A and B are shown apart, each in its own frame.
Chain A
């Protein structure tokens, strides 16, 4: 187990190295930032002095080396729009994104597990296949359109929830529903497929033959064994969920990391873009590590080596 975690942490370093390369190359290929950052009336000498100060006159590999070294030291260049440490900005906004994502995942799980299991038990009924088709509709809906329609119906027409911003539990409802819809639809299908497979296994039939109650069979045998593929999908969906969070945060003016990243990209705030990219890669790598380690708890047959 310890060796496995060490190996995974080593792989994580490789991923973070790659992410730093991507972050650096994106900015490097976008051209000389001095034209953007300095006043249009800046003299040639001023431009040269700025380029020298920022290290932009050095070869590419030197620039990358300096960038990577500063990351290792935890020193990111100041954000150009906020004039603050970009990592601090990311950390300030991270709780908002995490809360939004966790609430969406929680809502998805609360709906999808009972529904998926119920539909798997009634898999030959007409409503099971009908709801499975509805689930395809659920994950085909573009999140930004759904968010706008939610605002139209529940904010503008009904007036139940505020259309954007934060501050109360009512601000929370529409962004969470918008973010949770696709994941819920996807998870219902996954849990259904997984439970249908488990329900036909010998050990479930044996459990029933032993005279165990249906509740025990479902909770101890079907549910637990259906969870492994679902946990895998959840791990892989972190990036997808973050993609959904981008649109949700933009539409609902939610003060999270995803919106910060989009704003940084639009303002060409390079240090902030780089920090956000590095941070998101780190979160994703950590989420995948947690998912991989959780297998062992869900299925004792899985051994780490």
Chain B
């Protein structure tokens, strides 16, 4: 957009609540940058996720064998609990495997499922939602009814039923989460598209003879990106929780591959004598989900113009 005063970033002069306001594009970006660092949620969430990603990346270096058993050291408590710890930072499980190593390796499964399921579900749901919102008709009607039907089931029950039919594997877990969640993206994309469709700039583009693809790519998609990015971020947390819940119920990644949910389930059985087995995988899930949720909330504050930071 051209500036009103040459050399400046001012593109608009507005009257807001009786005051003259200059809309300065350069200042806008500076403000956004400042806003990012002032948004504590975003900074804290990013730090938590970076820590989780760092540990996940370093797992092969600092914890090379998560399946190595040492029966002499079974059910060993964490390092700070005295001499019985056998030198394991977070203690050991019933087979004498190092809990810290397993938590690091378990992050691979959770992060992989979380991010891939969100990308695929968004990749399916968003285009369908946009098309339904833009053109309406039978596709819109069918989509809304599918959404009604699917949202009538708790995610975890539907995922459980799908996994019980298809069998537990990484691919099937991702598939079940995608089936459970794609409709949320479609609904959000449809709702946002319905709003954007009626705006003056889309009408102007149409009047100027812009093709449907151009309207979609240049006008609709950038203007509906915000709610979808926020939803996608928050859904990563939900996907991590669903995956670990499936593993907890015994329908997750088959052993011996470590997964936070299956470690938690194992820990539940030894709760009376070895609390650490259930405690630490849960904290790992909490840190990852909290990080993602904080980022999602922070993004909402930064990107949604109606909310002030």
Q: Give the interface of A toward B (CB within 8 A).
A: 11, 14-15, 18-19, 22, 26, 29-30, 133, 136-137, 139-142, 144-145, 148-149, 151-152, 156, 236, 239-240, 242-243, 246-247, 250-251, 258, 261-262, 265-266, 268, 273, 277, 280-281, 284-285
Contacts and interface: CB of A to CB of B under 8 A. Distances in A.
19 contacts: A15-B148, A19-B152, A30-B164, A133-B41, A136-B290, A136-B293, A137-B290, A142-B241, A144-B245, A145-B286, A148-B271, A149-B282, A239-B152, A242-B154, A250-B249, A261-B157, A262-B160, A280-B153, A284-B153
B300 to A, nearest CB: 11
B156 interface: yes
B40 interface: yes
Contacts of A136: 41, 290, 293-294, 297
B156 A246 contact: yes
Contacts of B286: 137, 140-142, 145
A265 B153 CA distance: 14
Contacts of A140: 237, 286, 289-290, 293
A18 B289 CA distance: 32
B285 interface: yes
A139 B297 CA distance: 12
Contacts of B76: none
Given A19-B152, A273-B161, 18 more contacts: A18-B145, A18-B146, A18-B149, A19-B149, A26-B161, A30-B165, A133-B40, A136-B293, A141-B286, A142-B285, A145-B282, A145-B285, A148-B268, A156-B271, A247-B245, A247-B248, A277-B161, A281-B152
Interface size class of B (residues with CB under 8 A): 35 or more
B104 interface: no
Contacts of B165: 26, 29-30
Contacts of A145: 264, 278, 281-282, 285-286
B24 interface: no
A261 B164 CA distance: 12
